[in-house]
Amino acid sequence: MRILLRTFAFIHALMALLFACAALMLIVVAAHMGWVAFASGLSQAAAQAIIEAVGLLAAAVVALQIAQTIAEEEVIRAAHISAPTRVRRFLSRFFVVVVVAVAIEGLVATFKALHEDPAQLPYAASILISVGVILAGWGAFIRLNRFAEELEPEAMAEAKREDQKLK
């Protein structure tokens, strides 16, 4: 059984490494796009390219945060996501990143639609509406999960002990 758990930890570490590599590649592409746009002159096209670079940077943040979460939760802590406290904390870390990235993508899509094709505005608005839906669902989950945490106070204490592994 230990070999199987070590194999899973190795696979998780590999996945975290691949997410981090993807984030670095997105950062390089975004920097290149931004530099080319800036070097081409101060124009509306340059602004659009820089806004798209910001969207790529948002995707890079998501990839990097996922890499960090996988590394911390699955490799360093070797936490088993079963207790309500651990589930809430794990999902909250993930949703913070997703909400911010989707909101940035929605703003990028809005700017792009405003300047290129106003017919695309409903699609951009639907992205921003999805941010609100995700936030509402996340809030409901945290509220309902809080009641489950009160039934298992030892799970909160165990999660805090696991946090000591990162210090």
Domain boundaries, the chain: 2-166
State the pLDDT at residue 96: 84
**pLDDT > 90? residue 144:** no
CB of 128 closer than 8 Å to CB of 110: yes
State the pLDDT at residue 32: 96
Residues 6+ apart with CB under 8 A from 123: 109, 113
Average pLDDT over residues 70-90: 72
Burial class (CB within 10 angstroms; exposed 0-12, middle 13-18, buried 19+) of 85: buried
In which residue are the tokens 């979460």 written?
Answer: 69
Note if the pTM is more than 0.95: no
State the pLDDT at residue 161: 64
Distances in Å between the alpha carbon of 137 and those of 58, 62, 109, 133, 145? 22, 19, 23, 6, 12
State the pLDDT at residue 6: 86
Residues 6+ apart with CB under 8 A from 92: 138, 142
State the pLDDT at residue 47: 84
Residues 6+ apart with CB under 8 A from 134: 95, 98, 99, 102
State the pLDDT at residue 166: 54
Burial class (CB within 10 angstroms; exposed 0-12, middle 13-18, buried 19+) of 160: exposed
Q: What is the pLDDT of residues 52-78, one digit of tens each?
A: 898 899 889 889 988 988 888 777 776
CB of 27 closer than 8 Å to CB of 60: yes
44-58, 105-119, 141-155: least confident range: 141-155
State the pLDDT at residue 162: 62
pLDDT band of 97, cuts 50, 70, 90: confident
